[in-house]
Structure 1
Amino acid sequence: MASLTHETIDLQAMYDLVATPTAGAIVTFSGVTRELTHGRQTDSLDYEAYAEMALAKLQELEQTAKERWPIEKCAITHRLGHLEIGEASVVVAVSSPHRDASFLAAKWLIDTLKEEVPIWKRENWSDGSTEWVHPGLPTGDAS
């Protein structure tokens, strides 16, 4: 299950989406808005996406994860819009019979999502400046 939302991400709901009686492991990853990025004070973040393309890519990543690892279910949701410090911008949840598959799939999903899914982040710095970060590039490297 892949989704984009402008609402606060419900971590329990994400967990519930992947829970099954046959899964002995559920791994969740939450990407949270942090206060410092490369030594700079972050005030907030804004996320934008080409929604149709982003959803299609998220669904593709989920399918690939299911083909690569023996996972039961996976779910990814990414928040769009304005986020304050401490708010989750992305959550990945993966269930599998055993923990290794869940850990490996969740790590691959978040790493690949950040590189390939057309979601853009604007860092709003405490000094009033802003900077757009493109998928796959760390802050400070976007031109």
Structure 2
Amino acid sequence: MDLKISVQQEDFSLAQEYERLALGTDAGAVVTFVGKVRDMNLGDNVQGLHLEHYPGMTEKSLTSIAEQAAERWPILRATIIHRIGDLDIGDQIVLVGVSSSHRSASFAASEFIMDYLKTEAPFWKKERTTTDNRWIDSRESDKKSAERWK
């Protein structure tokens, strides 16, 4: 598996990342997921996010998640990009991209990576709302989604 992992402040280009995932003639399927900053959470108006991470540990964790996916499905290429720092409504936060010979592997691996990223990767998210700032924990629904892969 050809793997790209990046934790970065700058935005990313979905088109450029797609080109890397789709290289060659063996990639019959490319699946991408982009997570964006929403304007609402837990019934409150969100104005933005601040994301922190543990350098070195975060990249190691993302690599491990991608390698676990590659043990389950025949992945050709995978990309995980996660942004950190201050983000505003509508900004891209995360990209998970997977290519394989067939769509079922690409869809399943992409979903697996995202589910584990939400529950296992060492990122800390603080929301800026109209009334205050608050740290956000993993949701129970995210934990349940990750449980299905065990």
Q: TM-score of the superposition, structure 1-length normalised?
A: 0.91
Query: Which of 13, 17, 21 is 2:16 aligned to?
Result: 13
CA distance in 2, matches of 1:17, 1:64: 21
- Residue aligning to 1:114: 118
> Deviation at 1:17?
2.4
> Deviation at 1:80?
0.4
Question: 5+ residue gaps in structure 2?
Answer: 141-150
- Residue aligning to 1:55: 59
Matches within 5 A, 1:1-143: 1-20=4-23, 21-127=25-131, 129-134=132-137, 137-138=138-139
Q: Partner of 2:105: helix, strand, or coil?
A: helix
Question: 5+ residue gaps in structure 1?
Answer: none
Q: Partner of 1:58: helix, strand, or coil?
A: helix
CA distance in 1, matches of 2:60, 2:71: 17
Alignment: residue pair count: 136
CA distance in 2, matches of 1:130, 1:8: 23
Percent identical among aligned pairs is 38
> Deviation at 1:39?
1.6
> Deviation at 1:138?
2.6
Off by >2 Å, runs of 4+ in structure 1: none
Q: Which amino acid aligns with 1:65?
A: A
Q: Partner of 1:95: helix, strand, or coil?
A: strand
